[in-house]
Structure formats: C-alpha cells, structure tokens
Structure 1
Amino acid sequence: MLFPRTDRWRCQLQRHHIQLYQGNRLQEQQSWQPDMPLAEQLDHMLSHLHCRLPWQNSIGFELDTPHISYLLTPWSQGIVTPAELRQYTRKLLAEQHGTAVQDNMISFIGPHYGANAFAAALDPSLFNELKAAAKRHRLRFRGCSTPFSRMLGMFGNTLPSEALFACISKDEGNFAARYQGRWHSIFSLNLPTGESVRHLDIANLLVGLPPLERYVMHTQQETSILKKQLPPAGTKLLS
C-alpha cells in the first residue's frame, strides 16, 4: 500500500482492569495485578501490537480512578491566570487527601472563565511511566485523558446546562453534576451490583438537585456507548 493504515490505540487503566481499544472497540483486556509492576503489565499487553514501521501507530492512555483524581474547584475572584487556578486546585486536593501534591499535573475538563472548574489531577510519575511504555513499543504517545474528557467531547463547546454525567465501571461510578450552567458536584461512589438507573437515582439524590437528565458511559464493555436517560423514566441512545 502506498499509504499504510495508521492505527490509533487507546489503553484504558481502571481499578480492576487494563483494556486496549482500537477506536471504540475493545481488542484486549487483562485483570489488574497489584503485585506486578505497571510497566510489566503494559509490556504484556502492548507486545501484541506489531507494526512494520516504527512510530507509525499511536497510543493514548485513558485513566479512571484510582489512577486519577477528580475534584471541583470553586471559582475564586482572586484567581486571574490558569497557573493560579492549577495551584489553587493542588491546594484543595492536598486538603482532601491530607498529603502534599505540589507536583500533580492538573487539567480542566470543559473550563469556563468565572465558573467552577471540573479538575482532574495526575501524578507526573505515572504520566512519565506511560510515556516510557509507548516509547518502548515504538508508538507515538498521544498523552493522557479521562473517560469524562471523551464523554464531554461529544457535546462540542456546548454542554447541557443541567445534567448528571456518569462514567460507570465494575463496582464503581464517577459522577459530575451541572446545574444552572455551572459544575455543581463531582464525586465517586462504590456501587453494588444492580441496574445503573438505580445508581443514577442515588447520585441525583446525593447532590440535592431536582431530577436531572442523565448521560451515562459504561467504561468496561465491548464498545463504549453514550446513553441519555431521562428522569425518572425513558431511555434512548444518542446518535
């Protein structure tokens, strides 16, 4: 072929699994091994990717809890630059965890000046380890993201004014609520086995808001599908 196909891989790190996707299709999955170094687990999964031309294919890493931390950064009038907002977020994160996190990489999901920020924090040592894994397997490194980044990216620059977003995996769910055009609450829940509708009802109740439209992504499935669920009943797929 004159122009060989370029594959874009996505490696998803969750609490219990590591998954490898091509597009939105799951290609391989392995259980997380707490006693095995992450580098060895990644090498085992990425060793199956063969390419005739080094650096032709690329890989990005999508991190979910506990590999990344989510938090809400309330807007403060004293903050005027992105660097100040990141430092303020690190301060809030340190207060939540009771440890210093001065070096954590901070990114904001769907940020808007003058409004509460949806923040994601990543340990730079993990970022460097993932970058090194891509380099070992001669894959172009596309950086790190979160399931929320992918989910909210489907809406472009216009997010619903009032909605409950949920990224749900096995035994765990991460939730982000918007109300009156602003981020209101961001939190995680341990979920017993059951239907996601019930979990969403509980999450909506916990944030203390009127019933919100729900947007749900199950992150541990053969394919990643975003669903819109209308409270309290009615479900339809988003195109």
Structure 2
Amino acid sequence: MSSLCIEHVVLLQSTGASWAARPRWKTATTWRSHQDGEPLGACAALLERAPRGRLRYLDRVTLLLGFPHVHYWILPWQAGLYSQADWQGYARASLSQQTGIDPTLWQVQVAPPGFGQSCLAVATPLDLLEDLRILFKLKALPFSACVPLLTATLQHYGKQLRGDCVLAVPETSALGCVYLQQGKVSQVCLIHTAPDSLLSNNLFTANLLVEQHPPTTFVATPRPVEPPEHWLGPPHPWLMEPAP
C-alpha cells in the first residue's frame, strides 16, 4: 500500500484488536488484520504490521473502544443544569453512584441534551487511554479521535433510526443496545455474552433488563443478520469484512 498518508481505524475489544487502514486521499483496498490478546500487546503487534504513509507524520488513527473498556449510562433530564461543566459533574456523580467506581480514574463524556431530554454518558479508563497514547506516540501515529464503539455507531447510523427502536451492536463477547423512543435515546444496555450465543437470545436478555420491547431492531455488524432484525452494516465502514 503506497500513499503519502494513511488513515487507520483500530477497534479494541475483550479478545484483542482489529485494525483497518487505507490511503487518505484515494479509493484503495482496505488493509485489515486482527490480533488476539490484551489491548496494549495486541495494538503493539499490529503497529508493527500496519502500512504507513510515505509522510508518516500525516498518518492518523481513530480508536474505537468496545467491551469491556467502556461504561454507558443514561442521564435523565435535570432542569437545574445549564453548562457543559454542570452536566460533566452530574455525570461523574451518577457514575460513582451506579457503579461504585472512582470517577477520577475515568474519562467521562456527555453531550448536553436537548431541552427536556435524557442523554447518553460514557466513561473510559484514563490509564488505558494514556498507555495507548504513549504506545501510538512512539510510532508517530497520533489519535484523530477516540470514541466508544456504541457511541460511534449511533452517530454513524443516527439518521436511519426513527420512532421506537433499538440499535444493537454485537461484539466478540458482548452486546450493546441503545433504545430510542420517538428517535431519542431513552435507555442503554451492555451485557456480556457467550461466544456461541444467539443474537436473538442476547437481544431478549437485554430487552428484559431494560424492560423495553421495541417493535424494530437495527443491527450493526460486519455480517448481515437474518430477519426480523434489520441489518444496517458494520459499526464502521472499514470494518465491513471480518479480519482474517
């Protein structure tokens, strides 16, 4: 793969890392690979194999964080919160109450909701993010973005999600679901799943946990799914095919 600069997408999951890369300014075959193991070791191994541009300092990577590297939860509307700092403080307090973990050890992100609406909050471990930044900096491959997988998928397919429905994102050992009512986020659920479990069974479990049974299920996964679920495509366009 020969190009001045190359864009990279890396997905971290419980069983390792999947990597996709392609030249930034032209259509070309996407390079893909997968490495099993813990996140840093898997990324380090893939970094050695991933193609680089002739102007390496222009290369960029988008990092997608899957299970178990992310916490998701819903913040109900609070009339007394006005600024971004207000919502950040509310999200940190809510994380501590719901999970019992120390919010100072996590990067918490939340976009202020529309008036009267709940919103999705996410948290990622600061130590993992710092270790990844150092690793990629050693290879002169800076982050252009670091986004939780469920959030990135919701942003990518948001215009296709209307009415009451659920967006389901299966992972290697997890299932993430975002529930929408009238097109707005109302609930979120992330469950651990067995490798050989059926999507239909995992969806049933998630629906029971949140006590919602939406009429339509949209699934984002590299491979098409059987009806009655509606297949959207992969969570990220470059992850269309499973890594070899």
TM-score in terms of structure 1 length: 0.80
Segments of 5+ residues of structure 2 without an aligned counterpart are 23-28, 234-244
Contact 1:73/1:89 (<8 A) preserved: yes
Output the CA distance in 1 between the equivalents of 2:160 and 2:190.
Answer: 24
TM-superposed deviation, 1:152: 1.6
Partner in structure 2 of residue 127 of structure 1: 129
Indicate the SS of the match to 1:154.
Answer: helix
Contact 2:178/2:185 (<8 A) preserved: yes
The correspondence for 2:176, drawn from 169, 174, 177, is: 174
Partner in structure 2 of residue 32 of structure 1: 37
Matches within 5 A, 1:45-64: 45-49=46-50, 50-64=52-66
Q: Which residue type is aligned with residue 120 of structure 2? A: F
Q: Which residue type is aligned with residue 35 of structure 2? A: Q
Output the CA distance in 2 between the equivalents of 1:19 and 1:143.
Answer: 16
Indicate the SS of the match to 2:49.
Answer: coil
Output the CA distance in 2 between the equivalents of 1:234 and 1:123.
Answer: 36
Note the aligned Cα RMSD (angstroms). 2.9
Output the CA distance in 2 between the equivalents of 1:204 and 1:130.
Answer: 34
TM-superposed deviation, 1:156: 5.0
Partner in structure 1 of residue 25 of structure 2: none
TM-superposed deviation, 1:183: 2.3
Output the CA distance in 2 between the equivalents of 1:216 and 1:134.
Answer: 31
Pick which of 113-122 and 184-193 moved more: 184-193
TM-superposed deviation, 1:73: 1.1
Partner in structure 1 of residue 70 of structure 2: 68
Pick which of 152-161 and 139-148 moved more: 152-161
Partner in structure 2 of residue 201 of structure 1: 204
TM-superposed deviation, 1:13: 0.9
Contact 1:177/1:183 (<8 A) preserved: yes
More helix by share: 2
TM-superposed deviation, 1:39: 4.1
TM-superposed deviation, 1:177: 0.9
Output the CA distance in 1 between the equivalents of 2:124 and 2:7.
Answer: 22
Count of aligned pairs between the two proteins: 224
Deviation string 1:212-239 (CA, Å, 9 cap, x unpaired) is 3112123xxxxx3686x8xxx5345447
Partner in structure 2 of residue 221 of structure 1: none
CA separation of 1:137 and 1:71: change in aligned 2, threshold 3 A: same
Output the CA distance in 2 between the equivalents of 1:109 and 1:25.
Answer: 32
Deviation string 1:145-177 (CA, Å, 9 cap, x unpaired) is 122233222335674231111111123211121
Output the CA distance in 2 between the equivalents of 1:121 and 1:6.
Answer: 31
Output the CA distance in 2 between the equivalents of 1:87 and 1:10.
Answer: 31
TM-score in terms of structure 2 length: 0.78
Partner in structure 2 of residue 8 of structure 1: 7
TM-superposed deviation, 1:189: 1.7
Partner in structure 2 of residue 95 of structure 1: 97
Q: Which residue type is aligned with residue 188 of structure 1? A: L
TM-superposed deviation, 1:125: 2.7
Runs of 4 or more consecutive aligned structure 1 residues displaced over 6 Å after TM superposition: none
Deviation string 1:93-115 (CA, Å, 9 cap, x unpaired) is 11122232135322237943431
CA separation of 1:41 and 1:236: change in aligned 2, threshold 3 A: closer
Contact 2:18/2:33 (<8 A) preserved: yes
